[in-house]
Amino acid sequence: MVISDAKKFRNATDAFYRMKDYGFLPITKSCNAYLSSLLDSHRVDIALGFYREMRRCRLSPNVYTFNIVIHAFCMSGKLEKTMEVLREMEIMDFSPTVASYNTLIAGYCNKGLMSLAMNHKSSMGKDGVHPNVVTFNTLINGFCKEGKLHEANKVFNEMKALNLAPTIVTYNTLISGYSQVGKSEMSNRLYEDMLKNGVKADILTYNALILGLCKEGKTKKAAYLVKELDKDNLVPNASTFSALISGQCVRRNSDRAFQLYKTMIRSGFHPNENTYSMLISTLCKNEYFDAAVQVLNDMMDRSMVPDSGTLFELHKGLSQCAKNQLAMILCKKLEDRHLMPKGFDKSKIISSQPENEDKTS
């Protein structure tokens, strides 16, 4: 696919130069389509090079061209260059559109430069451009990513004051933001607000709510929400199971966490590295070493490995219950698969005296 795309772009560029040789130039609309497809394939440098060639050939850009170039500079992290594009637009008597501003704001939000993103929102009014739902959703997401929930809520309230109806994206972003910092009550209030305003919850909504409850160890309430999924014709996915497993790990309920893990695998889903590591650590703390080894083997089969601290915890536990040989077999398997984490020193595994009985799950 990459080779195919590269050939396609090379052919398009060759066609452009052949047209020039014959005294013809493509129309701006064709250039815009090419620039847009380059960005879709993350060929930012080629896109910017092509734009410079357009200008050298005196091909006149339009607002859409400038918006694409602004997006290209945002994608490459060269935000200072976007100001040059705005000045170029002004010289050519073009006014930035809501799409221009939304692209700029997204670029600054992605860099965590929220004060500058808000400055651009303020500039919209001066230029007679009204922020839309995308503008507010982008800012809310930016503040949530920075953990600035108070500012995100202020933007949310401003959005509603302008009679712009929050969308499922708005609510999911805020609910997820509050859930991540363990404020499940605020997440629940937003959930009730969205239902009152006729916005239907989706699996992302439920996953965010479930995660928030599980972070606080409120696993019964989380289980109730899982039952609600069926009423909305929604099916638990990998994120749902991972949240539920994390909730049981918070409560150090190894039995339930491991059962949820097995149900997750049977359902065709797999945890991410964080969930695997959390589960292994919890199983080790409760001395469920056989189960921990099973999870580690599953993890290695997916070319993943826990951090050195979790791995040391498991190997130390195996050694202390007279399973030194199994500990060394796991070490060799990790080495053979080139999965040994940095910082893990197997020579530091502490062995205790053999015990008569193995600790198992």
- The DSSP secondary-structure symbol of 181 reads T
- What pLDDT is attached to residue 261? 97
Does some domain include residue 296?
yes
- What pLDDT is attached to residue 39? 93
Does some domain include residue 256?
no
**Alpha-carbon gap, residue 274 to 281, rounded angstroms:** 11
Q: What confidence tens digit (pLDDT) does each residue in 163-206 have?
A: 999 999 999 999 999 999 989 999 999 999 999 999 999 999 99
Distances in Å between the Cα of 319 and the Cα atoms of 69, 173, 313 are 60, 45, 10
Does some domain include residue 30?
yes
Mean pLDDT of 16-20: 64
Domain boundary among 94, 114, 146: 94
Percentage of the chain beyond pLDDT 90 is 65
Does some domain include residue 254?
no
Q: Name residues whose C-beta falls within 8 Å of residue 102's C-beta, 6 or more positions apart in sequence.
A: 132, 134, 135, 138
Q: What confidence tens digit (pLDDT) does each residue in 262-280 have?
A: 999 999 999 999 999 999 9
Q: What is the CA 233 to chain-centroid distance, rounded?
A: 25
Structure-token pair, residue 87: 């000045």
Listed residue (228, 215, 217, 300) closest to 205, CA to CA: 228
Does some domain include residue 242?
no
Percentage of the chain beyond pLDDT 70 is 88
Domain boundary among 72, 94, 116: 94
355 pLDDT tier (thresholds 50, 70, 90):
very low
Domain boundary among 53, 75, 94: 94
Does some domain include residue 207?
no
What range defines the domain where residue 40 resides?
1-94
Does some domain include residue 110?
no
| One-character DSSP codes across 82-108 | HHHHHHHHHHTT----HHHHHHHHHHH
Q: What is the CA 236 to chain-centroid distance, rounded?
A: 19
- What pLDDT is attached to residue 357? 43
Does some domain include residue 46?
yes
Please count the structural domains in the chain: 2
